[in-house]
A and B are shown apart, each in its own frame.
Chain A
Amino acid sequence: VSDRSKSGQRFDELRGEQVVYAIHRQERTFLPSREHCPLDPTRPGGPQTEIPFPSFEIAVFDNRFPAFETPLGAAEVVVYTDQHDGSFGTLAPERAEALMWVWRHRYMELGAREDIDYVMIFENRGVEVGVTLHHPHGQIYGYPFLPPVPALQLAADERLGGCAPCLLMGGELKDGRRLLHENDAVVAYIPYAARWAYEAHVTLREHRPSLLDCEPEELRLLSSALQAVVRGYDALFERPFPYVMVVHQAPTAAGAGAGGPGAGAGSPGAGARGAERRGAGGHLHVEFYPPLRTAEKLKYLAGSEQGAGTFISDTLPEESAAALREAIARAA
């Protein structure tokens, strides 16, 4: 890490994983006043922001303080709206649906790059998970390597002898006690072995390795289910509910998939192309990791979680699911 303005990686031999040093991020904008939000549009007479237009719908730009950047990855910011207040859950349904296409576009373009092995779309919501800007937005990291969590999920496919999300979703549908929300394309549930009290997985019913393999109607129903879960979160304790939301998809590294990230980009026939790519590993699903275990108490990663890698949970997934299911219904 010789150039302090650039990120660098070191490999932790003891844990067998990469650590990224992005020391320039120490200087990034931290909880600015509402008048100085860099994600607002640039209004006449107002301060210059990241988006030099007086209005916009959805904006994507290179992160000013990137953890990854060309030629070793990418870091982008996705601004959901030019309205400073609100959240993913309060977006109009049409805007949330459009966001799915923006995600898909960025997965396609970033995943086609030789230097990017894994595209991760995510949102941090709430100061409890380290948010530094309140304006509704998410981020995209293009990793120049396959990170440990998606690698573990691919290993689960091998261990279970098939697509793990497909098999696990089937088990949840059969059991039923942890289901949160369903529509024709998507199932939301708290997993059997959830680590967080209100962890939720939102999974495509059909085997879709990535957003590129989805039919347009599936994208619409995915956005609808995601909004239902987030609105339920806010209704659960009648407060803005912090979470980390992560879109899990197939790796994009050369050799990771038969078709590559551009293979299923069209709308008609995307499902057929997706079928050809089975075996590539990965099944599109969105995971939420909310740190709240009660309305006021946070789950901290302490001794067992950090030292042993074993989560100790204070709640049972079935009981959490019953409460969250009721909140989702109430917020609908």
Chain B
Amino acid sequence: MAREPAAPPPSDRPEQGARPGADERAEPAERYGPVALARHVKDDGRALLLFTRAEREPT
């Protein structure tokens, strides 16, 4: 599966607002075109992806 290079998250806003215990299994954000995504696992095991528009190019 092809994937564009991962990059540092352009924004850490979601992580800052995480509820205690809700984000223990979060993985570092990835870059996909103009968006960044952070992968999380919900308490019941379901996947949750949060996408943010990445205004900055990865450094």
Listed in ascending order, the chain A residues whose CB lies under 8 Å from chain B are 42, 48, 50-62, 64, 94-95, 97-98, 101-102, 104-105, 108-109, 112, 216, 261-267
Contact = CB atoms under 8 A, between A and B. Distances in A.
A262 B1 contact: yes
* 3 closest A-B pairs by CB: A52-B22, A265-B2, A62-B46
A109 B14 contact: no
A53 B14 contact: yes
B46 A53 contact: no
From B13, B14, B23, B33, name the one whose CB has the most chain A CB atoms within 10 angstroms. Answer: B33
Contacts of B3: 108, 262, 265
Interface string B16-38: 01110011000000001111010
Contacts of B33: 101, 104, 216, 267
Interface of B: 1-4, 13-14, 17-19, 22-23, 32-35, 37, 42-43, 46-53
A266 B35 CA distance: 13
Nearest to A69: B46
A60 B35 CA distance: 13
A98 B35 contact: yes
B42 A266 contact: no
B42 to A, nearest CB: 7
B32 A53 contact: no
A41 B38 CA distance: 16
Given A53-B14, A98-B35, A105-B35, 17 more contacts: A50-B42, A52-B22, A53-B17, A53-B50, A56-B14, A56-B50, A57-B50, A57-B51, A57-B52, A60-B48, A60-B49, A60-B51, A61-B42, A94-B53, A101-B34, A108-B3, A216-B33
B14 A55 contact: yes
B35 to A, nearest CB: 5
A50 B49 CA distance: 11
Contacts of B34: 97-98, 101, 216
B22 to A, nearest CB: 4
